[in-house]
Amino acid sequence: MLLFANPIKKKQRQRILQNLRKSDKLCRTFACWLRRYVGQNIIP
């Protein structure tokens, strides 16, 4: 998985996932927020 290619502590990873979920409450599926994450951070 690209987001966690580097070793990240379990709590840190959970915090990242929680922040991503909170950022868009309407986006509940993994694919949905992953698509938003990629779109916001990789595509200019």
The pLDDT > 70 percentage for the chain reads 45
Residue 41 pLDDT level (bands cut at 50, 70, 90): low
Nearest-angstrom CA–CA distance, 33 and 41? 12
Averaged pLDDT for residues 21-42: 67
Within 10 A of 12 (CB to CB), how many other CB atoms are there? 11
Please determine, for residue 25, whether its predicted confidence score (pLDDT) is greater than 50.
yes
Q: Report the pLDDT value the prediction gives residue 44, as an integer from 0 to 100.
A: 43
Give the H or E element holding residue 1.
none
**Amino acid making up residue 2:** L
In this prediction the pTM is: 0.32
